[in-house]
Structure 1
Amino acid sequence: MDHETNEAEPDLSGSFCQTSSVGSPVSRCSLSFPRSLSFQVDDDIESENVSETGDIGDRALHSKRHSGSGSIRLSIDKGLENGMVVPISEGSEHDSTALNTRSPMSLLPEEIISPISIDVLICSKEKQEDKEKAFALPPLLEYMSCLVYLAVFGILGVLTRYELQKLFGPGVAGVTSDNYPLYLDLPSNMVGSFLMGWWGVVFKGDISRVSDHLAIGLTTGYLGSLTTFSGWNQKMLDLSVDGHWVFSFVGFLIGLFLAAYAIKLGVGTAKCFKSFLKRSNRISDLAGWRVDNRYHHLGVLVVLVVILGLLWSVSWAMLKKEYNRDSGGAQLWLACIVAPPGVWIRWFLARLNGRGLGKAGSLKWVPFGTLIANVSAACIMAALSTMKKAVHTKTCDTISTGIQLGFLGCLSTVSTFIAEYNAMEESQKNWRAYAYALMTIAVSFGLGILIYSVPVWTRGYK
């Protein structure tokens, strides 16, 4: 048979691959599935994609280490809701146009493209070449480097959240309060969700091309710690304890609506700014900042280790100085000390996103890592709040509040939660967004009532 003629080769999954040397320097693969199986595959891919939109934890490092083989994974273009299949590089991060996935079809030949367009393949190959040029750290050093990034940016997120509380709280602007649905952490949750649209959706791919660790530090570390779900849930519990059930309900609605609108606003404005950068050819200037060799990696790591040491040293010194005072300074500095473990645990739990339950991987659309982090942090915060009312000493208040502000504030997140919610809302099955939000809020608030509200009511804590 002539080499110009297409040959159909049966695949184990029931698909047929066609190889051709006509009109393209790469091989093409045309997939043919029964209609019911095609719908099932598309649903599985979309379920996994929306669940992994916010974070996939340390799995990102594992996929990055295996990206040098030149393999190209299939993914769903977020802007194409009709089931078209386009490729992205193995291990590439999510951006505004494509989400990563690991479908059974990734076992097909090395280069698989859709007959729709070759432009996406060219873009993917360019990203793949960038990955291959970049210097890869040893696995242990890379993992430790990520932990340092997360710790530094996590502490900065706590400091920013605290300052926003003070700025918009009763003492300055008076916009937020403990006694109304506009809770103290609402501004930080809105700002973090807005910036997630910039750094976690539109510009995440560009940031990753500079440094994958920087992308993780900014999104999981800084934005995840700037926003807090446990603080939001606890303020609504406080309102319910005082009998303001309507305020609690309205507080959840307002918080969810404003955070969801903030990330949409962030994505929209970021896309406009990115188009401006492309027209002015300034986005290519980021290549000069790329951390792509041994000396750049080690240099940045040394600087961050020094910064982390200074932050912890200053926090310990200020904690000792402020501990005997009545100000909230001691709580803030203790929060900075205990913040990194909260970020690390949340990052580790994020590996559960997109995995589903059991060996069959059912309910892949539920980001179980984020769900577990938010619910567990909300429950621990409710328990500490109960303990504060029961013990009611200065030492207990300082330690409990510091842990709530730092460790639990960083363990829970609204920015990742709202990124997942937004992806589900824009998917073909947008009802999952409301189910996921209701699941997170109802479970956290319900358990909080049992842990916090019931003891307060029955024992008469003040």
Structure 2
Amino acid sequence: MDIGTADSEPRRSGSFSCTSSANSSLRRRSISLSAAAPVHIDDDIESEIVSEAGDIGDRALHSNRHSESSSHRFSVDPALENGVSAPTSGDTLLHLNSYWSRDPPTMTTISVVTPLPEEIVSPLYTDAIVCSKDKKQVDKERLPKLLDYAFCLIHLAVFGILGVLTRYVLQKLFGPGVAGLTNDENILYLDLPSNMVGSFLMGWWGIVFKADISSVSDYLAIGLTTGYLGSLTTFSGWNQKMLDLIVDGHWVLAVLGFLVGLFLAAYSIIFGVETAKGFRWLLRRRNACTGSGTPSSSSNWRVDSFKRHLAVMVVLILMLGLLWGVCGALLREEFSSGGSGAQLWLACFVGPPGVWIRWFLARLNGRGLGRAGLFKWVPFGTLAVNVSAACIMAALSTGKKAVNSQTYDTVASGIQIGLGCLSTVSTFIAEFYAMRESEHPWRAYAYALITVCISFGLGILIYSVPVWTKGYG
């Protein structure tokens, strides 16, 4: 699929269909869209779609074991003679379930063929969409499961480290040393700029253009969204800064910090979606005038063969070795000084395992509780990593207060910076955004309240109470 492909031919009763196969065979399903009235999807199915808005982790690697012949169809696909142009494949993300656009002329109904209920395409998580491939060609492109895992893990590691480095740079750029806009003593906490930038980019790479990125490489889409954006943003750091405020008695500032942080992140992703849609529109206008941007041109960049996968793998392994080598050398040189540089280099080693754990636990999103699948609308995978990271962050902060050692402080602070990769604001806010635009917008605020209250409450028990009772300075 091409980023700038324009679909100028009106389609009245036909449907636009794409088969999601994947260079890595991460998922297989077909989507057919017809220009029609808004579709009414079963609440249980909508819950799964919304809760899988950010990621479904390694569940995507197992979907190809299901036969397409055993799949089932849901929803309605009536044809309307209204002359409305069918949306392009990139618009699938913008119109699926009416999440991203509520303009009546461009509303679509969705008819999805999918192996299992938990494999439903979500509005944000879209694996590689390759238009109408021959089944033999699809089978030829499949990679063994172990290679699938290896490719995912290496992409997550490299992009996770890049996310840590970017977060650190934004901390320094907007912190007291340079711009002076953020600090540890008010509601504009140090990680606020990175959370806003990550949420904005999620609107571009995770919503509007994710299908286009996936058409080049599934692993690139996973690396950019789950790896880079998930590591660029951090919920645990946000939660810990609010805990630091209440330790000093600033309860009102802590509450305002959560509200302001949620507000700015939510509007950052909205701004990202709107600007990305505008950019896509400009690309279409440009390509419509020049006649460029055909699907065949983008196929040259598609990583759809073992040789291309291997070439990318070699490059990323070299990058990972270089990054870890440089970080290790700098860590050895600066560790004795205990400065922020040593903490950053240590964080680059801690970050990748955090990303891997978060990606693995994302398989819980859209599953619900128990065999009955209760509360499918809650992304339990994202909730689990954010709460867990917040608790570990609080425990490390308590240790720093209790031990009061430069060596321990350096190690604990480095782990805390890297621990930001385990938690995520970009995925959290993408799920919040999808819920807010669904048929049950109250779920967005309930989800945010559950995440904040559990993380903050446990943080008080782990960090604030010991500091108050033991009198740590």
TM bucket (normalised to shorter chain) is 0.7 to 0.9
Secondary structure of the corresponding residue to residue 87 of structure 1: strand
Match of 1:339 in 2: 351
Q: Distance in 2 between matches of 1:249 and 1:441?
A: 10
Contact 1:157 1:222 in 2 (8 A): yes
Offset at residue 85 of structure 1 (A): 4.0
* Structure 2 CA distance for aligned equivalents of residues 129 and 70 of structure 1: 19
Distance in 1 separating the partners of 2:45 and 2:150? 31
| 1:351 counterpart = 2:376 | no
Quickly say closer, same or farther: Cα 1:47–1:92, change in 2 above 3 A.
closer
CA offset at residue 136 of structure 1? 1.6
Distance (whole Å) between structure 1 residues aligned to residue 231 and residue 181 of structure 2: 22
- 2:326 counterpart of 1:320: no
Seen in structure 2, the aligned counterparts of structure 1 residues 64 and 306 have a Cα distance that, compared at 3 Å, is farther
Secondary structure of 2:112's partner? strand
What CA RMSD, in Å, does the superposition of the two structures yield over aligned residues?
A: 2.8
Post-superposition Cα deviations, 1:389-446, rounded to whole Å, max 9, x if no partner, equal 000101100110011000x200000000000000000001100000000000000000
Partner of 1:55: 55
* Aligned counterpart, 1:461: 472
| Per-residue deviation, residues 172-196 of structure 1 (Å, max 9, x unmatched) | 0000010000000000000000000
What SS does the aligned partner of 2:452 have?
Answer: helix
What is the TM-score normalised by the length of structure 1? 0.82
The alpha-carbon deviation at position 223 of structure 1 amounts to: 0.2
> Identity rate of aligned residues, in percent?
65
Distance 2:72 2:140 in 1: 17
CA apart distance, 1:78: 2.1
Deviations 1:340-368 (A, max 9, x none): 00000000000000000000001000000
Could you say if the C-alpha distance between residues 461 and 52 of structure 1 is closer, same or farther in structure 2, counting changes exceeding 3 Å? same
Give yes or no for the alignment of 1:197 onto 2:197: no
Q: Give 1 or 2 for the bigger CA radius of gyration.
A: 1
Deviation at 1:277, TM superposition (A): 1.9
Distance 1:88-1:177 versus aligned 2 partners, 3 A rule = farther
Deviations 1:7-48 (A, max 9, x none): xxxxxxxxxxxxxxxx9899xxxxxxxxxxx98x71001100
Distance in 2 (alpha carbons) for counterparts of 1:432 and 1:302? 43
Report the Cα offset of residue 149 of structure 1. Answer: 0.3
SS at match of 1:86: strand
Counterparts of 2:113 and 2:272, CA distance in 1: 24
- Give the gaps of 5 or more residues in structure 1: 1-22, 27-37, 102-123
Give unpaired runs (5+ residues) of structure 2: 1-12, 17-38, 76-94
* TM-aligned CA deviation for residue 62 of structure 1: 1.8
The residue type paired with residue 348 of structure 2 is C
- Report the Cα distance in structure 1 between the residues aligned to 2:60 and 2:141, rounded to whole angstroms: 16
* d(CA) in 1 for partners of 2:386, 2:404: 26
Other-structure match for 1:78: 97
- Hey, what's the Cα distance between the residues in 2 that align with 1:431 and 1:70? 35
Offset at residue 309 of structure 1 (A):
0.8
Q: Which amino acid aligns with 1:372?
A: A
Q: How big is the shift at 1:286?
A: 3.1
Offset at residue 278 of structure 1 (A): 2.5
The answer to whether the 8 A contact 2:338-2:410 is kept is no
Query: 1:25, 1:435 → 2: CA distance?
Result: 37
Shift of 1:70: 10
Give the structure 2 partner of residue 238 of structure 1.
244
Aligned equivalents of 1:24, 1:331: Cα separation in 2: 58
The 1:182–1:56 alpha-carbon spacing in structure 2 relative to 1, beyond 3 Å, is same
One-letter amino acid of the counterpart of residue 301, structure 2: W
Q: Counterparts of 1:459 and 1:236 in 2: how far apart (Å)?
A: 20
Taking structure 2 as the reference length, the TM-score comes to 0.80
1:256 is displaced (CA, Å) by 0.1
- 1:126 offset after TM fit, Å? 2.4
The C-alpha deviation readout for 1:51-97, integer Å capped at 9, x for no partner, is 0000000012222565877967647932178995422676686456x
Q: Which residue is equivalent to 1:105?
A: none
- Pick one of 417, 425, 433 that aligns with 1:422: 433
The question of whether the paired residues in 1 share the 8 Å contact of 2:49 and 2:122 is answered with no
Determine the structure 1 residue equivalent to 2:283. Answer: 277
- 2:161 aligned residue: 155
Q: Does 1:363 align with 2:388?
A: no
What's the counterpart of residue 114 of structure 1? none
